[in-house]
């Protein structure tokens, strides 16, 4: 199974680049930038990665991002992730970045997107990994702040293909951002949104209807609404599911309770992704391996999951055909 999973050409569609910051690099950057850390060493930092829900994770994740200061830091972060992709036969990746996490600390937008994009370009030329960048608005902040971020981003519009919505879900429904996403669509960007991770199935409906998303990030709570499951089956609007994230954040009490296998068998376009691999204990292969063993997935099921990732991506039809 390990060999089989390794050999599958994998596409990642739900990865927060800030969530790929491993404790070792976090310490290196803290030292380089002279940022004091409330942890004595890598081991005690890793030991703090015990989460009870999404917010308990986000608090630590935003704290970790404070060590990212210079353009080179964003390059190093992204390059480390791409090397993991290379080791795990991830051939294409569409990654999120959260500009507000950085610009609100006074880091220039240009340095954030510049460092990430420079690494992605090297990923393609040196490792053969293609990629796309998705800017994500923080939903716990205001609509006004999202509009301001969009304005700041427009001079760099050639560097990203889409805009998403992440951070604290409950109490921050997609429709809070209807107007800014209408503008985003007008500008020609792809739209995605986190919905139905901790929040209700209703948020998946409003992401679809009000924001007109091309994909739902997470979406596992769709099972609470049979009409929604049927809609997702018929339309094949993809769900970018993140199994290790879901168990680490207690969305499912254990992996054997995860619904990805059932949704796959019902014909939904579910995909496997790592979300924040440095915090949740694994990259793409670890996610595939975890669901395979807990849910006893077969090779045809695993291959279908990988094909769904290709189908759900923003790659050209020509490239998709070449990978299928
Ligand atoms: N959900 C919401 N916001 C996030 C996540 C997530 O899983 N990861 C990073 N930001
Ligand atoms: Zn996410």
Give the pLDDT confidence score for residue 300 in this predicted structure: 98
Give the pLDDT confidence score for residue 228 in this predicted structure: 98
Per-residue pLDDT of 47-102, as tens digits, reads 999 999 999 999 999 999 999 999 999 999 999 999 999 999 999 999 999 999 99
Average pLDDT across the chain, whole number: 98
What span, in angstroms and rounded, lies between the C-alpha atoms of 251 and 47? Answer: 21
How buried is residue 316: exposed, middle or buried, by Cβ count under 10 Å (0-12/13-18/19+)? exposed
- Among 243, 276, 280, which is best to mutate for testing ligand 1, by the most ligand atoms less than 8 A from CB? 276
86 is in an annotated binding site: no
186 given a catalytic annotation: no
- ipTM for the complex? 0.96
275 is in an annotated binding site: yes
Q: Residues lining ligand 1, judged by CB closer than 6 Å?
A: 16, 19, 54, 61, 166-167, 194, 197, 245, 275-276
Per-residue pLDDT of 128-144, as tens digits, reads 999 999 999 999 999 99
- Measured in Å, residue 15 CA sits from the centre of ligand 2 at 6
pTM tops 0.95, yes or no:
yes
Average pLDDT over residues 285-308: 98
Cβ atoms < 10 Å from Cβ of 164: 28
- Measured in Å, residue 143 CA sits from the centre of ligand 1 at 18
CB-based contacts of 142: which residues, under 8 Å, 6+ apart?
Answer: none
Catalytic residue among 71, 197, 198, 285: 197
Cβ atoms < 10 Å from Cβ of 317: 7
φ/ψ bin of 95: left (φ > 0), alpha (ψ from -120 to 50), beta (otherwise): beta
- Measured in Å, residue 167 CA sits from the centre of ligand 1 at 5
What are the C-alpha distances in Å from 40 to residues 46, 121, 199? 11, 35, 35
List domains and CATH numbers for the chain: 2-314 (3.20.20.140)
What are the C-alpha distances in Å from 323 to residues 9, 109, 228? 7, 34, 30
H-type alpha helices, 177-283: 178-186, 201-209, 226-235, 243-248, 260-265, 277-280
Q: How confident is the model at residue 297 (pLDDT cuts 50, 70, 90)?
A: very high
């Amino acid at each position: 199974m390990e060999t089989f999973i390794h050999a599958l050409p994998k596409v990642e569609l739900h990865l927060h680049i800030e969530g790929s910051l491993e404790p070792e690099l976090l310490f290196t950057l803290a030292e380089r930038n002279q940022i004091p850390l409330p942890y004595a060493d890598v081991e005690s930092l890793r030991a703090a990665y015990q989460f009870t829900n999404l917010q308990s994770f986000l608090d630590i994740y935003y704290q970790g991002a404070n060590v990212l200061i210079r353009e080179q830091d964003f390059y190093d972060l992204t390059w480390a992730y791409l090397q993991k992709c290379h080791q795990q036969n991830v051939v294409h990746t569409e990654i999120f970045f959260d500009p507000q996490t950085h610009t609100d600390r006074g880091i220039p937008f240009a340095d954030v997107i510049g460092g990430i994009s420079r690494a992605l370009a090297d990923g393609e030329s040196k490792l053969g990994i293609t990629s796309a960048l998705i800017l994500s608005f923080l939903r716990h902040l205001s609509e006004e702040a999202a509009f301001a971020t969009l304005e700041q981003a427009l001079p760099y519009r050639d560097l990203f293909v889409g805009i998403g919505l992440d951070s604290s879900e409950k109490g921050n429904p997609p429709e809070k951002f209807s107007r800014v996403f209408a503008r985003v669509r007008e500008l020609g960007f792809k739209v995605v949104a986190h919905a139905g991770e901790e929040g209700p199935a209703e948020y998946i409906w409003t992401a679809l209807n009000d924001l007109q998303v091309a994909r739902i990030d997470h979406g596992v709570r769709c099972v609470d609404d049979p009409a929604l499951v049927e809609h997702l089956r018929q339309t094949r609007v993809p769900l970018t599911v993140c199994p290790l994230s879901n168990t680490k954040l207690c969305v499912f009490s254990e992996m054997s309770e995860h619904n990805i296998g059932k949704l796959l068998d019902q014909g939904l376009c579910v995909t496997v992704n790592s979300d924040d691999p440095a915090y949740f204990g694994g990259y793409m292969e670890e996610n595939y391996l975890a669901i395979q063993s807990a849910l006893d997935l077969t090779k045809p099921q695993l291959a279908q999951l990988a094909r769904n990732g290709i189908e759900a991506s923003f790659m050209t039809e020509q490239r998709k055909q070449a990978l299928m």
